[in-house]
């Protein structure tokens, strides 16, 4: 087998809650036909519970353990290409940050804080933001996580003012360059 053929050509989307990972993931899936792997959905399916229930009944650390296990499982699937949409907290573990880069081209979707607040306030299925002051919680988490997104990503995309089609086009152009110049 040619060496280039064993390099995974997955595209991995990271970014804070409400940054558009799922929407952009679907757009990339439609354009490329790669399998769409939504990690939150996978975890809910394998646990048979909603994320809010996992956090409540098993705790955040157990959820983080499932996330790491999922990354390891996806990394084993080298027979097909994936668009991987991660949960916003995937970067909190150093182990995950390393695994992400091994999975493929890691794209950080960055959205302004007020956009995140507006989008995440539309539903209550994000346990970390079910607090009286979600705006403050978002600021705190962003301050801690921003350097980790930076560290884990090959590419940062500022999504402000762009629709999902425009974001996907930008990602595809950069990904093509990245995959044709493997390091």
Does 172 sit near ligand S3P (CB under 6 A)? no
Task: Give which of 33, 49, 47, 42 is closest to 74, Cα–Cα.
Answer: 42
Q: Determine which residue in the list 74, 89, 111, 167 makes contact with ligand S3P, applying CB under 6 A.
A: 89
Minimum Å gap between C-beta 164 and ligand S3P is 15
Does 128 sit near ligand S3P (CB under 6 A)? yes
Nearer residue to ligand S3P within complex by CB, 156 or 179: 156
Does 20 sit near ligand S3P (CB under 6 A)? no
Q: Determine which residue in the list 10, 12, 14, 40 makes contact with ligand S3P, applying CB under 6 A.
A: 40
Q: Give CA–CA dist 123/22, Å, rounded.
A: 15
Q: Give CA–CA dist 55/9, Å, rounded.
A: 32
Does 87 sit near ligand S3P (CB under 6 A)? yes
Q: Determine which residue in the list 88, 96, 116, 148 makes contact with ligand S3P, applying CB under 6 A.
A: 88
- The pairing of beta strand 82-85 with beta strand 104-110: unpaired
Minimum Å gap between C-beta 138 and ligand S3P is 10
Q: 4 in helix, strand or coil?
A: helix
Does 152 sit near ligand S3P (CB under 6 A)? no
Minimum Å gap between C-beta 111 and ligand S3P is 11
Binding site for ligand S3P (CB under 6 A): 17, 21, 40, 51, 87-89, 126-128
């Amino acid at each position: 087998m040619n060496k280039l053929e064993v390099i995974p050509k997955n595209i991995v989307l990271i970014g804070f809650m409400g940054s558009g990972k799922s929407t952009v993931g679907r757009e990339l899936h439609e354009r490329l036909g790669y399998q769409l792997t939504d990690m939150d959905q996978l975890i809910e399916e394998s646990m048979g519970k909603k994320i809010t229930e996992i956090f409540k009944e098993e705790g955040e650390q157990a959820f983080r353990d499932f996330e790491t296990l999922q990354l390891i499982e996806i990394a084993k699937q080298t027979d097909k290409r994936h668009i991987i949409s991660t949960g916003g907290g995937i970067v909190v573990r150093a182990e995950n940050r390393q695994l992400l880069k091994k999975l493929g081209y890691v794209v950080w979707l960055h959205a302004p804080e007020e956009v995140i607040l507006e989008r995440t306030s539309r539903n209550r299925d994000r346990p970390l933001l079910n607090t009286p002051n979600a705006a403050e919680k978002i600021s705190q988490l962003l301050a801690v996580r921003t350097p980790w997104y930076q560290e884990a990503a090959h590419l940062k995309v500022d999504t402000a003012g762009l629709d999902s089609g425009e974001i996907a086009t930008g990602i595809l152009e950069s990904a093509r360059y990245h995959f044709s110049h493997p390091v």
